[in-house]
Amino acid sequence: MKYLVSASEMREYDSNTIEKTGIPACVLMERAALAAAEMIEERCAGRSGRRHVLVMAGMGNNGGDGLAVARLLSEKDYQVEVWLVGDEAKASARWIQQREILRNYPVECTDRPKRQEYAVLVDALFGVGLSRAVEGIYGEAVDVFRNLEGWRLALDMPSGIDTDTGRILGRAVEADATVTFGFCKRGLVLYPGCGYAGEVRIADIGISSRSFYGGKPGMFAYDEDISALLPERDGGGNKGTFGKVLLVAGSVNMAGAAVLAAKAAYRTGAGMVKVITPPENRIILQQAVPEALLGTCGDLEAGMAWADVIAIGPGLGKNREALACLEQVIREGGKPLLVDADGLNLLSEQPELFERLASQGKAGRTILLTPHVGEMARLLGCSVADCKADLPAAGGALAAGLGAVVAAKDARTFICGQERETCVNLSGNDGMATAGSGDVLTGIVAALLAQGMEGFEAAAVGAYVHGRAGDYVAAKIGPYACTAGDIAEAAAVVCGRPSVRTNLPGEDIVRDTEMSACQIWGGQNGL
């Protein structure tokens, strides 16, 4: 996993490294500058002619990093110009130290850029400290900087992006690359900030997990091979060993949701899946998922006794029969329960049912909810805008209220539990914004639960598998052509072939050369 830190956490770890570990601040600054200079050297390698560089430097420690970068580049025969923005009387102590050193080097400091075009433009205006809108002389500087020609490198954070949320604070620098120090900052991977960061490189400057001193970051993301996260398979097992999923899904004219969730559960390792659905869906399911067992609402009680995990909601509808099924799985079931889609919509309209579920969750029943932002708003009784403003907080509030695990879905999915770090899923792509994609996630998470995974891990790993499968499809056929059925089938590839790697922020796409998309999907999608 990799940690994603907030501005306050990063300040604490920086302070711990200096004051408790004993690494001087000037050493950390020099290492940061060396990492940035190395990235610039890589960019400019083999380029002929004078290499003009502009460093836009504020008066804080980020600006001090910029001054150190200017000094290092001047030693390598770059023509470096430093644009000082702000009142030097208010400069930080580290900045003043770097400014005094820089006076001994052939670097010109100016109050405005001298050129319109540079080989490299370095953004060292704010770093992680910004918490208010960029305006006044700083806003004007950002506007000018954005209109200059050249390759843009941001130090730690693009100026104007909120470190904690990724929000744009009025205006922001759009970087081609960002070199960030110690740990990845949340705003570099959350929308819309990730769209301003460009290529992100995390530089080791001496601030490490040793700097936590018990205060671990509150957010993390998976970035390892899926094979390291999945439940171990018992070579001597049988279909019962790998878990039995009861899926209450589908309604008349809505069989597809049940098909997608059932397929995804099988593709993620479930041994058996039984689908409770209206009799009108029987032929469709028998043809699409012949492996699945079938039943109707009258079979629900027996199905709950049989199952290891119950999942309810995909394509369920909101009629009286659907509500009766939801009431029954809450009232009579003590087994792990995943509620999605129409199950969530029904739950938001039934306060007594919500309270019953909350009492079970707080008593120890494993409960998972997978709401998108609209469903989350209905469950919390607030606006969609309020949820989107701080989705991790909204997910955490719902998790606490129900004693549950909540996978709060948006462009990024946040997995929230009680008294735990938040996991943010960084896999996936915009091709997954397609009908049925959430049903696939339900099947994947239910399968992991059935195989014995704890609730939070099942939701977090399930979201990661789901996104990796979507990335695999996008790498094969492009995001425009991606369907939920493709994602369900690709779950088998990313779970069964650990060599498959797809693209997370900062990674290259590595395609599977041993199996074609035609072989995987049997020729569907015209391949």
pLDDT at 65 over 90: yes
Other CB atoms within 10 A of residue 129 CB = 16
The predicted pLDDT at position 521 comes to: 42
The predicted pLDDT at position 419 comes to: 85
pLDDT at 287 over 60: yes
Give dist(CA 409, CA 415) in Å, integer. Answer: 9
The predicted pLDDT at position 93 comes to: 97
The predicted pLDDT at position 237 comes to: 87
- For residue 111, give Cα distances in angstroms to 58, 106, 138: 11, 17, 12
For range 280-284, the mean pLDDT: 97
For range 332-354, the mean pLDDT: 95
Confidence of residue 302 (pLDDT cuts 50, 70, 90): very high
The predicted pLDDT at position 396 comes to: 97
| Host H or E run for residue 406 | strand 405-408
Closest CA to 323 of 307, 345, 303, 304: 345
Q: What is the DSSP string of 298-321?
A: GGHHHHHHH-SEEEE-TT--SSHH
For range 307-316, the mean pLDDT: 98
Rg of the chain over CA atoms, in angstroms? 26
Burial state string for 259-295 with b = 16 or more CB within 10 A and e = fewer than 16: bbbbbbbbbbbbbbbbbbbbeebeeebeebbeebbbb
Half-sphere exposure of 479 (CA within 13 A, CB side): 10
Structure tokens at 401: 């209220």
Between the two ends of the chain, the Cα-to-Cα distance in Å is 35
Q: Domains along the chain?
A: 2-221 (3.40.50.10260), 226-526 (3.40.1190.20)
The predicted pLDDT at position 164 comes to: 96
pLDDT at 379 over 50: yes
For range 90-114, the mean pLDDT: 97
What pairing do the DSSP bridges indicate for beta strands 293-295 and 309-312? unpaired
pLDDT at 523 over 80: no
The predicted pLDDT at position 276 comes to: 98
**Percentage of the chain lying above the pLDDT 70 cut:** 94
**Which pLDDT tens digit goes with each residue over 12-27?**
999 999 999 999 999 9
Give dist(CA 372, CA 407) in Å, integer. Answer: 8
Q: Which of 138-152, 155-169, 296-310, 503-517 has the lowest mean pLDDT?
A: 503-517
pLDDT at 503 over 60: no
For range 256-267, the mean pLDDT: 98
The DSSP secondary-structure symbol of 231 reads: P
- For residue 212, give Cα distances in angstroms to 14, 416, 509: 9, 22, 33
**Percentage of the chain lying above the pLDDT 90 cut:** 89
Burial state string for 461-476 with b = 16 or more CB within 10 A and e = fewer than 16: bbbbbbbbbbbbbbbb
Other CB atoms within 10 A of residue 425 CB = 24
Closest CA to 438 of 199, 286, 249, 291: 249
**Which pLDDT tens digit goes with each residue over 84-98?**
999 999 999 999 999
Structure tokens at 17: 């490294």
The predicted pLDDT at position 497 comes to: 56
**What's the chain's average pLDDT?**
93
**Which pLDDT tens digit goes with each residue over 419-470?**
899 999 999 999 999 999 999 999 999 999 999 999 999 999 999 999 999 9
| Host H or E run for residue 149 | strand 149-155
Backbone angles phi, psi at 358, to 5 degrees: -65, -40
The predicted pLDDT at position 498 comes to: 44
For range 334-348, the mean pLDDT: 97
pLDDT at 359 over 80: yes
For range 279-305, the mean pLDDT: 97
**Residue 227 vs residue 50, higher pLDDT:** 227
Half-sphere exposure of 392 (CA within 13 A, CB side): 17
For range 240-249, the mean pLDDT: 96
pLDDT at 506 over 50: no
**Which pLDDT tens digit goes with each residue over 68-83?**
999 999 999 999 999 9
pLDDT at 326 over 50: yes
The DSSP secondary-structure symbol of 17 reads: I
Closest CA to 263 of 297, 291, 240, 232: 291
Are residues 281 and 309 in contact, defined by beta-carbon separation less than 8 angstroms? no
